[in-house]
Amino acid sequence: MAAVREFFGLRASAQQPIPFPHQTHVEKAMLKCTETCHESVEKGPAAGIPSVKTCMICHESIATDRPLIMKITNDYYKKNLDLPWQRVYGFTPESHVRFNHAPHIRAKVECTNCHGDVAKMTVAERKVDHSMGFCVDCHRERKASNDCLTCHF
Amino acid sequence: MDRRNFIKLTAVTGGAVTLAGCGNPEHELIRFVPDEDLTPGLAEIKNGVCPQCSAGCGTTVRVMQGDVDTVRGGQAGVVTMSLAKKLEGNPTHPVNQGTLCPRGQAAIQIAYHPDRITQPLKRRGARGTNDFQPITWDAAIAELVGQLDMLASSKAQPALACWTRPGSSARRDLTALFLARFGAPPPTTFELFSDDVLRRANEMSFGRAQLPTFDLAASRYVISFGADFLGTWNSPVAHTAAYGRMRQGRPGIRGAFVQAEPRMSLTGASADEWVAVRPGTEGVLALGLAHVIMREKLRPADAAGRAGALVDGWARGLADYTPQAVEQKTSVKAARVERLARELADQRPSVAIIGGAALAQANGLFQALAVNALNALLGSVGTPGGLSFTPQAGAASGTGKTLRAAAADILAGDKPPVQVLLVDRVNPVYATPPGWRVKEALLKVPFVVSFASFVDDTSVLADLILPDHAFLESWTDARPESGATMALATVAGPAMKPLYQTRATPDVLLDVAKKLAAPIKPELPWTSFDQMLQATIGEEAWAVATKQGWVELKGAQGQRAEGKGQREREIAREPVFDGDAAAYPFHFLPYASQAFLDGSLAHLPWLQEMPDPISTAMWSVWVEINPQTAGRLGIGDGDVVEIASAHGSVRAPALVSPGIAPDVLAMPAGQGHETFTRYASGRGSNPVKVLGPSVEQETGALAWAATRVKITRIGEADGGLIRFGASLTEAEHTHR
């Protein structure tokens, strides 16, 4: 039904190359969302998805005997291939939305507010529906602008 | 469910069954590890040099992270990298002043073209069959080095030749240096719509062998003889900016503009007055104007100085060019000649411009000298509102034989004087008349190397293709010949990393020079092209150049020198046309296309899609014909016609247009490539293949407006003429 979803301006649900355990990285490795992996959110409009090079910063020496780590090392990193991560959230071009993380970070909106509690998930799933109503409600609550051109172009 | 979604859903249900099988397209992609650390969503603005013509405009390049299809180690996939997204004019650049023409805007498609050559290719099948096999760079360089070593060992260094495009740049200097130090003759430069005739005329009249720069912004009256200076000629972006100021930039003063040409160009369409002058008589009209000005003593006759002395009869007030005599030759009414002359002299500063078809005649030099003399008489040389010459730094690289002579030499003997030929950024097989026999000559050269990024009509005949980077991936430079009041170089570094296994041609030459069995002497002191650029520009200026995308060059030659004021030999005063007037009753006028210029840009789909500003036609070619003539011959709009000269024929749809003289047929250049990517191959026809081989004698430049033709109606409209807004059929939309 991918074509139908696309036609209605809905993103297809993501299919990831490996079941990346967010929970392990946040709870056991004590990593913060925006420190190593989604670091661009502090610098630019998009959070970014890390390349396999980022994985290897730690996994060159940590947990190298686990099957999934061996898979990303041998099947991807050593072949100069990147993990084909797919975006979980995001707007389709047809929705004409230009989203910028920066003002939301400045307004101290928590990651979980829009992305759900990813820290408790293995593979990130779309738990929050980014409908226009969702955005508008929050904007109204926080007295942010609800002018069309704030989000749409 | 609202109405809109209901309609969408009904539309979808039919297609959904078949489409559902496609799955998520992102999922199947192979991704390569990115080489750069990037911040998604943040744009960076870098500098660029527009590669599309020799005007040398500076661009800005918007660079942002993105995904791009690429090939790594023979495997196709996707990589995330910094990508050039949009080109605009560099706001600080003295030539284009922040603006850019549509051809420049479309240059971004060069980098992402689906038919780019992605790695070195070696010919496998017969020449011209487009049967190449990919090879590594090491093997490719070794191949070229081997060929050059063979020449050197048999003391046959002069048998290396290079065909390239004109225009002043460090890249061309490097090519010339490489050839000279190897022991080969200087490169042959070629351009279909060449301005060499005007350069020669300016050297004779004003002592400067270059194209003029016009201070239109301060002019009050401009008359142009055939020069499409707002569209395709000389430095069109600079002219357009200045023209805008001339017409609307001065409160209370709107400069007047008259265009004299047999076919209405984009520039002619902007004029206050359009004068349909007979082809090859533009110079006569200019001298008629000068005659009236001198007769009425509106300007002192001696103001013309040495430029005037070059024109026979100037001292006697051009007695042969009375308005009545001019009317007979040019078909411009005597009263109109009188009026235009008075306006020119009264509304100074005024300036006359000559370019395009007026120069492409057997008497092109005479015509240019006539207009130069008129400008001198008007006191418009080196003055505000007139013409001047952009100072040039350093000596121009030497130019070798003309292409026509080079081809003739190759065809003359049993053993061709050229054994190894380097072809860089020219497509002469497409852009030369059949009488020059360039393709035959190329086939006779034992080893042809091309640096092309695309397989085109010429590179398809090569034995080895060493693909150049796209301009956005390499160091590029240009030294504008005109369009500015100071000597400058436009310079830019790579805006993005190379997408494919290509190499910058100057770097390849530097590499080859070092790998020869007997390395060339004196050695070229640089290991890469940017080192050479830096060395020629100088350390201090380099910092400025890399920051703003251009730099003023010091030590430039002064604004103006004096001409010699005398001719070495007689020059042709009368136009000579190829073909008998009875058998071939029409003048044939090919012209530089607004989209493709001489055809070198026909591979860019944005330009194919761009409607021609006069005819609104796109993706096609046409023959412009006057409504009276068309009526007389029973030719309707869109009908297929055949244009034939003594040298060849082409077919194209007719476009009935009032903006053309009744005895002239015109056709835009650019289409009709046999081989030039999926967008241009086999599309339309090529007017150059009708042209006679005649040249202007002094310069050897092709007289491309001097052929006579006949026209025959072949049949009904076949849909070949596609106009903007017309509904396109599926077939027309499908590219091979």
Helix axes of B529-537 and B505-515: crossing angle, nearest 10 degrees: 100
Contact B39 A100 (CB under 8 A): no
pLDDT reading at B396 higher than 90: no
Name the DSSP letter for residue B705. T
Question: Closest Cα to residue B146, out of B535, B463, B536?
Answer: B463
CB contact under 8 A, B31 and A80: no
Nearest residue to B453 (alpha-carbon basis) of B599, B603, B671: B603
User: Stretch B700-710: mean pLDDT, rounded?
Assistant: 95
Q: For the complex shown, is ipTM > 0.85?
A: no
Nearest residue, CB atoms, A4 vs list B16, B34, B39:
B16
* C-beta of residue B575 within 8 angstroms of C-beta of residue B280: yes
- Most distant CA atoms of chain B, gap in Å: 89
Q: Rounded distance, CA B310 to CA B204, Å?
A: 8
Half-sphere exposure of B521 (CA within 13 A, CB side): 3
pLDDT for res A5? 61
Decide: B483 and B235 in contact? Cβ < 8 Å: yes
pLDDT in tens, B625-648: 999 999 999 999 999 999 999 999
| B459-486: average pLDDT | 96
Per-residue pLDDT tens over the stretch B506-558? 999 999 999 999 888 888 999 999 999 999 898 889 999 999 999 998 876 65
Reported as a pLDDT band with limits 50, 70 and 90, residue A35 is: confident
The single-letter code of the amino acid at B324 is Q
Quote the minimal CA–CA distance from A9 to chain B in Å: 11
Residue range(s) occupied by CATH 2.40.40.20 in chain B: 586-733
| CA-atom Rg of chain A in angstroms | 17
Residues of chain B with CATH 3.40.228.10: 207-388
Q: Is the pLDDT of residue A130 over 50?
A: yes
pLDDT attached to residue B15: 41
Q: Which residues contact A146 (CB under 8 A, 6 or more apart)?
A: A136, A139, A140
What distance lies between CA A35 and its chain's CA centroid?
A: 14
Q: Note the pLDDT of residue A9.
A: 58
- Condensed to tens digits (0 to 9), the pLDDT of residues B123-180 reads 999 999 999 999 999 999 999 999 999 999 999 999 999 999 988 899 999 999 999 9
pLDDT at B41: 85
Nearest to A7 among B12, B38, B41 (CB): B12
- DSSP secondary structure letter of residue A128: S
Amino acid identity, position B147 = Q
Model confidence at A87, pLDDT cuts 50, 70, 90, reads confident
Assigned CATH for B586-733: 2.40.40.20
Please name the amino acid found at residue B182.
F
Quick one: average pLDDT of B36-58? 91
What SS3 class is residue A29?
A: coil
Nearest CA in chain B to A56: B33
- Please enumerate in sequence order all residues whose Cβ is within 8 A of that of B418, keeping only pairs 6 or more positions apart, or say none: B159, B160, B161, B406, B409, B410, B445
Kindly report the length of chain B: 736
B:24-53 residues touching chain A, CB 8 A cutoff? 24, 26-27, 29-34, 38-42
Provide the CB-side half-sphere exposure for B309 (13 A, CA): 13
Mean pLDDT of chain A: 88
Mean pLDDT confidence for B579-595: 96
CB-count exposure of residue B446 (10 Å: 0-12, 13-18, 19+): middle
Instruction: Average the pLDDT over B76-90 and give the result.
Output: 93
Question: What is residue B2's predicted lDDT score, i.e. its pLDDT?
Answer: 57
- Whether A8 shows a pLDDT value over 70: the answer reads no
Q: Which chain A residue has its CA at the smallest distance from B72's CA?
A: A80
- Of B10-19, B196-205, B261-270, B710-719, least confident by mean pLDDT is B10-19
Strand, helix or coil for residue B84: strand
Phi-psi region for residue B226, left (φ > 0), alpha (ψ -120 to 50) or beta?
A: left
Q: Which of B589, B587, B608 is nearest to B599 (CA)?
A: B608
Among candidate residues A16, A88, A7, the one with its CA nearest the CA of residue B19: A7
Residue B217 DSSP label = G
Q: Which two tokens stand for residue B325?
A: 């005599």
Per the CB < 8 A criterion, the answer to whether A90 and A97 are in contact is no
Q: Which of A14-18, B257-261, B464-468 has the lowest mean pLDDT?
A: A14-18
Say how many C-beta atoms besides its own lie within 10 A of residue B302's C-beta: 13
Please, which pLDDT band fits residue B116 given cuts at 50, 70 and 90? very high
Residue recorded with tokens 């190397």: B449
CATH 2.20.25.90 positions along chain B are 3-111
B79, A80: Cβ pair inside 8 Å? no
Output the six-digit token pair for B410. Answer: 């190759």
C-beta atoms surrounding B131 within 10 Å? 12
Residue B248 has what pLDDT?
A: 95
Position B477 pLDDT exceeds 50? yes
| B70 has a pLDDT exceeding 60 | yes
Stretch 54-113 of chain B: residues touching chain A, C-beta under 8 Å: 72, 77, 79-80
DSSP string covering B6-53, please? HHHHHHHHHHHHHHGGG--GGGG--EEPPSS---TT--EEEEEE--SS
Domain B207-388: CATH architecture, name and number where available: 3-Layer(aba) Sandwich (3.40)
Nearest neighbour of B22 by CB, restricted to A3, A15, A48: A3
At residue B5, the pLDDT reads 55
CA distance B572 to B366: 7
- Residue B7 has what pLDDT? 53
Specify the pLDDT at position A13.
78
In CATH, which of 1.20.210.10, 3.40.50.300, 3.40.50.740, 1.10.167.10 is domain B121-191+396-548?
A: 3.40.50.740
Q: Average the pLDDT over A55-81 and give the result.
A: 92
Q: Residue B689 in contact with residue B621, Cβ under 8 Å?
A: no
Name the residue among B5, B23, B33 with its Cβ closest to that of A53: B33
* SS3 of residue B143 by DSSP: helix
Which residue type, as a one-letter code, is found at position B300? P
Structure tokens at B507: 């770097």
Nearest CA in chain A to B32: A81
Determine the residue of chain B that is closest to A101 in CA distance.
B41
Looking at residue B716, what is its pLDDT? 93
Determine the average pLDDT of the residues in B38-55.
91
Chain mean pLDDT for chain B:
91
Tell me the C-alpha distance between A21 and A53, whole Å: 17
On whether any CB of chain B is under 8 Å from the CB of A93, the answer is no
Inter-chain touch B5–A81, beta carbons under 8 Å: no
User: DSSP 3-state assignment of B135?
Assistant: coil
Q: Which helix or strand (DSSP H or E) is residue A59 part of?
A: helix A52-59
Question: Is-contact B448 B438, C-beta < 8 A?
Answer: no
pLDDT, position B244: 96
In chain B, CATH 3.40.50.740 sits at: 121-191+396-548
Among the four given CATH numbers 3.40.50.360, 2.20.25.90, 3.30.420.40, 2.30.22.10, the one describing domain B3-111: 2.20.25.90
Is residue B110's pLDDT more than 70?
A: yes
B58-72 and B75-89 beta bridge pairing: antiparallel
Distance of CA B690 to the CA centre of its chain: 20
Nearest CA in chain B to A78: B33
Rounded mean pLDDT of B323-349? 96
Which amino acid would we find at residue A85? W
The pLDDT, as a whole number, for residue B288 is 97
Residues B384 and B378 sit within 8 Å (Cβ to Cβ): no
Residue B487: the pLDDT is 92
Q: How far is CA B149 from the centre of its chain?
A: 35
- Give the separation between CA B58 and CA B702, rounded to whole angstroms: 30
Interchain CB contact of A21 with B (< 8 Å): no
- HSE at residue B205, side-chain half, CA atoms within 13 A, is 32
